[in-house]
A and B are shown apart, each in its own frame.
Chain A
Amino acid sequence: MKKFILVLLMVGVLLVSGAFTALAAEEINVIYMAQAAYQPNEVRDMADLFEELSGIKVNLEFVRYDEQHEKVVSSAVAPIPTYDVFSLDLIWTAEFASKGFCVALDDYMSPAVKEDIAPAIMDAFVFDGKTWAMPFLANFQLFFYNIDMIKKAGFDAAPKTLEEMVEQMEAIKAKGICKYPWTDSWNQKEGLTCEYVWLTGAFGGDTFDKDAKPIFNTGPGLKALEFMVMLLDKELASPKSLTNDEPAARDDFIAGNAAFTSNWTFQYGSMNDPSISKVVGAGKMGLLPVAKDVLGKYTYDTASVSGFQGAAILANSKNKEAAWKYVRFITSPIVQRAYLTEMPVWTSVQTSAYAKTMDPVIDIKAKEIASVHHRPKVPPYPEVSSILQRYIHSALTGKMEPKAALDKAKTEIEAVMGL
């Protein structure tokens, strides 16, 4: 019996000391959410190159988007974190920063870095005056339209305003070119908040004001929801929109079931892939239209929503220096230039001659990205967004009037935020 306990003890000591040696070595653990962005093999490639250059070993873990938040939280709560670096969705910035989960990176960043990244992108990761993640991926929504349908309906170009778009849609529907000219991802998920944020922008406003107080129940926010409800009432928007997520909305569009949609950058690739798309050639990408009376308010007369991802360092990481080296590397202009499958965050890369040759639509993307609106930057964001989704969805399904729905959403959100 005694011998047995002794052996157990020895094994225990070995395990513990082994764990500590592993910690002491230059090694970092990274968690990355694999979604419609850089794919795992690309992220692994970048890490391999970094290992070569720095001698720091990178352990990568890929998870689904829905798992990332919880995994990061449980790692942050632990005394010794599982991860050093994680990819941070911009909507978590306020939450994680206010809880002290990640390190403020301002001291690491040189002024040159801040100069070369557009404020619209950098701001997404700023909370309380500090920057909490290094911009890594710049996703945003764009306008997709079927030029053949527009021409068949008797127009020559894509609409510049929402009013023009409605006119074109009514013509398309009246001529029987397409049953439901608009499709979108309006199911009760985060995507719905995104659609609502850009539409609020298209009507000239934001969902929350500068002091992070909800203002969506009047003016642009209300107009945006009324616009969505109107599209459904007039049967211009497909009823399937209410259950679509983004890939489903894309499938609708590339199957030729709709003339217009808004979606993230990833739709461009699928739309032009002849093996899955029926609208190769007809499907075009452009700037999202704004309401007529908003023309002139924004530089490029368009409004979009941001879906940026940053690389952040966990505050309880024991290896912050190595972690920063890795973050700096994967977000560097030179790496982004090599992986143009995603929109680079650096202005110098976006405007480089190389990027313009490699990506013919980078001009459109650059204009749209400069016109993004962020989702509210408030610490209890998941709860705030969930309330918004619930009430917007009940207005869309006709269970509530838009004004009543938004008023109730505002009251509940204020209760959650303690306003």
Chain B
Amino acid sequence: MSIRRQELSSKQLALILLLPSILIILCVVIGPLVFAFYLSFFKAEPIIGGISTKFIGISNYIYYFLKDPLFWSAVRVTTYFTVVSLVIELILGISMALVLNKSFIGRSFVRSIILLPWALPTVVNARMWEWIYAGSSFGALNGLMKVLHIFPADYDKVWLGFDVPLQNIPLIGNFMEWVGASTALNMIILADTWKVTPLVTLLVLAALQTFPDSLYEAAGIDGASSWSQFWNITLPLLRPVLLVVLVLRTMELFRVFDIIYILMQYSIRVVGVYTFETGMKFLNFGRGSALSFLVGLFILGIALIYVRVLYSEET
């Protein structure tokens, strides 16, 4: 009996203990994933009691690449959202981490309070900013602008509007219109950045704390300015954590759905919103599945580029 128990406590036991999680993952992750991949080769529509399917090969994918003008405009606007958000998040996140890495009075308090936005659920964050951006005199931002006398008392700006930023500057204006930038999108970027920057800060700060002081001391003795210390020591050392941040954030930003859907419904069609609209609103399950795999493909591509650029140089 006791021997048997010992046998069980090795690999077998591990397997038994893992079995429930494996089953759950199979059912709720792998299963649907495989099914969605399967559906992406079909013209699939819901009918009563099930889904009707008609095999059409890779037509769904071809449709998006060659025929659908909305797909590429969705890719452009998503790329704009991703790139602009990433740049702001990285610059803000790294600078905040650098400040928090220095010792000052109340540092631990600031360090913990800075995480608060990150703790908010996205839906709550979106609803909160919806109130702030409200285009009427009830909007908090409009109220603030009036109190500061930046806006006249009878003027209310529509923050979530569709005017193209920098529209009047010749080339930049055209480019902005081409990528699908709008005041609303910029405001959403601001709202999303406010929430996510603390995460970047936290990750970078954790990495910064592992750097030995001796490096900086040596650099100081050699007469390096703080800028060149940052550029030549801190940034290269941060490379692995930046890779993590970049991959993680690009993934999340490229598949953004919630905040844009809550604030704008379908009027800003990033690929996430477009996928949902195609699949769940228009009920084209096949095309919706194809679209979600295309999004996955894009993210994979970007992640590969990051790994190439940031990782290979180091080794």
**A interface with B by C-beta (< 8 Å):** 66, 69-70, 73, 76-79, 95, 99-101, 187-189, 239-240, 242-243, 248, 251, 255, 315-316, 380, 382-383, 386, 393, 397
Contacts and interface: CB of A to CB of B under 8 A. Distances in A.
B46 A189 contact: no
A46 B1 CA distance: 66
B277 A240 contact: no
Given A70-B280, A187-B267, A382-B281, A243 B49 contact: no
Contacts of B307: none
B162 interface: yes
A59 to B, nearest CB: 21
Contacts of B158: 239-240, 243
Given A79-B49, A101-B48, A248 B136 contact: yes
Contacts of A101: 48
A251 B50 CA distance: 44
Main secondary structure of the interface of B (DSSP, over half): loop
Contact of B46 (A77, A79, A393): A77
B130 to A, nearest CB: 12
Contact of B281 (A69, A77, A187, A243): A69
A315 B282 CA distance: 20
Contacts of B136: 248, 251, 255
Contact of B266 (A100, A251, A386): A386
Contacts of B160: 243
Contact of B162 (A69, A251, A386, A397): A397
Contacts of B45: 99
A161 B61 CA distance: 50
Given A73-B46, A242-B162, A189 B265 contact: yes
Interface in B61-93: none
Nearest to A408: B69
A382 B279 CA distance: 12
Q: Is the interface of A mostly helix, strand, loop or mixed?
A: helix
Interface of B: 45-51, 135-137, 156, 158, 160-162, 265-267, 277, 280-283
A89 to B, nearest CB: 13
B107 to A, nearest CB: 43
B64 to A, nearest CB: 15
Nearest to B50: A77
Nearest to A95: B283
Contacts of A243: 135, 158, 160-162
A386 B47 contact: no
B47 A99 contact: yes
Nearest to B136: A251
Nearest to A315: B48
A320 B51 CA distance: 22
A325 to B, nearest CB: 22
B281 A100 contact: no
Contacts of B47: 77, 99-100
B48 A242 contact: no
Nearest to B276: A70
B220 to A, nearest CB: 55
Contacts of A383: 281-282
26 contacts: A69-B281, A73-B283, A76-B49, A77-B46, A77-B47, A77-B49, A77-B50, A77-B51, A78-B49, A99-B48, A188-B266, A188-B267, A189-B266, A240-B135, A243-B135, A243-B158, A243-B160, A243-B161, A243-B162, A255-B136, A380-B282, A382-B281, A383-B281, A383-B282, A386-B277, A386-B282
Nearest to A314: B48
A222 to B, nearest CB: 23
Nearest to B279: A70
B282 A76 contact: no
